[in-house]
Chains A and B, each alone.
Chain A
Amino acid sequence: MNTSPTAVVSAKGLGLTFPTNDGPVEALHNVDLTVRPGEFVSFIGPSGCGKTTFLRVIADLEQPTEGTILVNGTTPKKARQDRAYGYVFQASALYPWRTIEKNVGLPLEIMGYTKAEQQARIERTLNLVNLTGFEKKFPWQLSGGMQQRASIARALAFDADLLLMDEPFGALDEIVRDHLNEQLLKLWAETKKTICFVTHSIPEAVYLSTKIVVMSPRPGRVTDVIESTLPAERPLDIRESPEFLAIAHRVREGLRAGHSYEEQ
């Protein structure tokens, strides 16, 4: 178990039990995991496997009930206060009364950047997600894919080295999703960020990641961790290569081992 300060996220024996009206629900059980700088880690599994919960624990949005977790070598709370990560939600969570540039500038306003610095960063990050020219538009004037790109720009606007993404493309159609996946890889190469990415699409996980964490429900746990052997340069048609299919097969095996395919 690597708990050296070079780990961006390191969890040891992590558990989280929610009290509910039907008795306690174990959302996470004995999770050991290390995310190193610059990795692209995907969390994949069926609903209820705790992948989103794990992301929310990293973000200090949920409190673990067992085990330890360190983010940048410190507690999630401290890491959050140090603005260590940007979070991208399932829905874009853009504020509808703010224009796109004001939405991207929201964290910058809160963190007290100067007006000039805000403007420069808004321009740079909107350019990064190919939304230049849409600064003055309101969210409803943009398509779903563009809205999600704006929310990624918002998470990139300040200097967080860690990007937490919770099924960011889950609500988009497959063609848009392919396109955004390609762009996300480019973005990741350009910005050298560490990315934790929750998904329930096997091709998406295999295509994007350097490391795939396969999870299973009841209780939510890690059943397999796969280090990807795919090259850094990944055109979309790499998804038909035997190497890609082999990794996808192993992911499926991992899901099956966790009884993810059984009738629930």
Chain B
Amino acid sequence: MMRPLIEGKTLPVLIVSAALIIIWYCASIGMNWQRQIDTYNRTDVVGWSTSELLYDVLNQKKPLLPTPHQVAGEFWNTTIGQAVTSKRSLVYHGWITLSATLLGFVFGTLFGISLAVLIVHSAAMDRSLMPWIIASQTVPILAIAPMVVVVLNAVGVSGLIPKALISTYLSFFPVVVGMVKGLRSPEGIQLDLMHTYSASKFQTFWKLRWPTALPYLFTSMKIGVAASLVGAIVAELPAGGGSGLGARLLAGSYYGQTVQIWSALVTAALLAGALIFCVSAVERLTNLSMGARA
């Protein structure tokens, strides 16, 4: 009963989680302590004991750094405690962000694979495209995203598409880089073998290059899906007061609702974790069907 707990991943993960929560509590107390004393002085509260102070520090209405139980409480109230259609529900906002993330991720992956195929099969493409692809990622996305969203809005494109576009922009890059490497990874004799069969480029691609590149694709997709989520959130920031986790973050910072900000952050982190888990699951299934050692 205890053995899998000790030998598996569960126990280490639990220990690290516990350590993080303790550090978080300590940081909360440290950052909110003086503010609570100032509040006492300002509102003429006298004769407070240390335990009263500690209780108030841990339960401030607008703390500098909210405590884990405050964030958990807010998270609970805005997910389970709300109808999912409510504008106060994190499930609602999360879904808005997730749909843009997924659309952008699918486009980004397809776009990245297409570019990699072009680059691998044409020396001219390799020389002309690669520098631009790398340059594209040196542009600060935080500066570009609002402009893209506003410009597209002006020409009547709004909602999902502009956000998905930013996600695509961020997620295609790891896929291009990974797939160029992956599609070039077959060994010399594996390619020679295809040559001795007089296989067409198309056959060489599907029967050799593609299967060899799959491990690279999944690694790239894990990076890409996380970048995609960041892209969707960043794209939501300029649409203040709108929907999505990004809008929720911005609204929270406007009104000093730190608890709201942190619960939106936690939601984003959980989403990212779930997305990467999904990609890993598909990867594992693919590996099994391709004869990986169990």
Interface residues of A (CB under 8 A from B): 59-61, 80-81, 83, 85-87, 89-91, 93, 95-99, 106-107, 109-111, 138-140
Contact = CB atoms under 8 A, between A and B. Distances in A.
Nearest to A99: B291
Interface of B: 187, 189-190, 192-199, 203, 207-208, 211, 290-291, 293
B195 A61 contact: yes
Nearest to B208: A95
Given A80-B198, A93-B187, 5 more contacts: A80-B195, A91-B189, A93-B192, A98-B291, A110-B194
A141 to B, nearest CB: 8
A89 B195 CA distance: 13
Contact of B190 (A81, A95, A99): A95
A93 B291 CA distance: 16
A109 B194 CA distance: 12
Given A80-B198, A97-B211, A106-B207, A89 B193 contact: yes
B192 A61 contact: yes
In this complex, the member of B190, B193, B207, B211 whose beta carbon has the largest number of chain A beta carbons within 10 angstroms is B193
A138 B197 CA distance: 22
A110 B196 contact: no
Main secondary structure of the interface of A (DSSP, over half): loop
Contacts, number: 51
Main secondary structure of the interface of B (DSSP, over half): helix
The 4 closest A-B pairs by CB, nearest first: A138-B291, A97-B290, A93-B189, A87-B196
Contact of A110 (B189, B203, B290, B293): B203
A89 B203 CA distance: 20
A61 B290 contact: no
Contacts of B189: 89-91, 93
A87 B211 contact: no
Contacts of A107: 197
Contact of B207 (A83, A86, A110): A110
In this complex, the member of A80, A83, A110, A138 whose beta carbon has the largest number of chain B beta carbons within 10 angstroms is A110
Contact of B198 (A83, A97, A106): A83
A87 B198 contact: no
A173 B27 CA distance: 64
A93 B189 CA distance: 6
Contacts of A85: 196
28 contacts: A61-B192, A61-B196, A80-B196, A81-B198, A83-B197, A85-B196, A89-B189, A89-B193, A90-B189, A93-B187, A93-B192, A95-B190, A95-B207, A95-B211, A96-B290, A96-B291, A97-B211, A97-B290, A98-B291, A99-B291, A106-B197, A107-B197, A109-B207, A110-B194, A110-B197, A110-B203, A140-B291, A140-B293
B211 A93 contact: no
Nearest to A80: B198
A236 to B, nearest CB: 30
B291 A87 contact: no
A93 B193 contact: yes
Contacts of A91: 189
A139 B290 CA distance: 11
B200 to A, nearest CB: 8
A96 B192 CA distance: 16
Contacts of B208: 95
B147 to A, nearest CB: 45
A97 B192 contact: no
A89 B211 contact: no
A110 B291 CA distance: 21
A91 B187 CA distance: 11
A244 B31 CA distance: 91
Contact of B193 (A87, A97, A138): A87
A92 B291 CA distance: 17
Given A95-B208, A97-B211, A97-B290, A110 B199 contact: yes
